[in-house]
Amino acid sequence: MAFDQKTRNLLQRTVTACRRVLDREFTAQLQELYGIQPDGSLTPIAALDHLGDEELDVARLLRERINHLEGGSASAMQSNHLPRMTGTTPIGVGLALGLPAVASGEGWVAMPHVSVEKRRVGERRPYTPLHRYGSEALTRTAAKPEHIARVIREQAFTVLNRLAALRLCEERGLVLECVRKGVNSEGFQLFTSSAGNALGETHEAYQVYLHCLFDELALDLGVLFDRFSPLALLFPRHAALTEVLTELNGTGKAAEREAMPAEQFGQIWQAEETAKR
C-alpha cells in the first residue's frame, strides 16, 4: 500500500524516536546488568555475581552472540535458535489466550483444550548448562565496539517489530487490545483479573503477558515472535517500554503528535531498513 509523503514522514519520525529509546535502554542494560561496555570491554562472567540465574544465562548468551560476530566458535549460534531458558508457565499461556484460570498444581490436566504444541511452548525450560556455551565466548574480555553496537541494534529491531506487529494484530482483531493502552489495555486487564498478584508488580505482570502473546503467535510466526532467538535476548524495562508505546500509539503530550494509521504498522520493517542505511 502506497503512502503519501506526510505519512512516510510520520512513520520515519516514529521509528527514529522508538529506536532512540530502545538503543539507549539496551545500551544501559548491557552496561548496568551484563558487564558489556560500548567500547567493547567485557566484564568476566564470574564477576557478575549481582545477577540471578536467568539474567546470568542472558549474559552468557549475549557473549555467545558477540563471539559469533567476532568470528569465534559459538555452539549456540550455529542455529537460528538458542537453548531455551525459562518459558511461560501453563497458567500464563492460558490467561494470555483468554482460557479459564487453573490452579498451578493442576497444570495441563485442567486445560485439555490446549493442544500439545501449545503445551510445549508453555512448559518451563531448564537453564542451559555452562558446558553448552563456547568457552571462548565466556573468557573473552574485549570485542570490537561495532559488534556491541550491532547487538544493541539487533535487539532494538526485534522489539520494535514485535510491538508494531501486536498493534497491527489489535487493529485486525486477531488479539485482544494489548499494547494500544499499555497496562490499561483490555487484554492485560483481563489477564491480571485472573492472575491477581501472582506475577508481581504491574510492570512485571505486563512483561509476562506480552511474552505469553509472543509465545502464542510464535506458533505461526516463529521468525518474528520466537523469544529464544539470539536476536531477542533483551526486553525494555517499564519506563522505556512505556516511552516506545507512547510513540507507537501517538499518545504523547505534544499537540502535533499523530497516531499512525493501522496499515502503517506493517511498514515498520521497511522504515527500519531505511534508517540503517
Residue with the three cell numbers 508453555 = 122
Q: Which residues contact 273 (CB under 8 A, 6 or more apart)?
A: none
pLDDT in tens, 39-69: 999 999 989 999 999 999 999 999 999 999 9
181 and 112 in a common domain = no
139 and 25 in a common domain = yes
219 and 118 in a common domain = no
* Average pLDDT over every residue of 183-201: 91
**What's the structural domain count of the chain?**
2
Q: For position 80, what pLDDT does the model report?
A: 44
Range of the domain at 232: 5-87+125-276
Q: For position 12, what pLDDT does the model report?
A: 86
252 and 118 in a common domain = no
Q: Looking only at Cα atoms, what is the longest distance across the chain?
A: 56
99 and 201 in a common domain = no
Q: Are 188 and 194 in contact (CB under 8 A)?
A: no
Distance of alpha carbon 31 from alpha carbon 41, whole angstroms: 10
Q: For position 86, what pLDDT does the model report?
A: 36
Put simply, whether the predicted model's pTM sits higher than 0.75 gets the answer: no
22 and 78 in a common domain = yes
Q: For position 202, what pLDDT does the model report?
A: 93
Span of 77-81, 101-105, 167-171 with lowest mean pLDDT: 101-105
3-state SS class at 142: strand
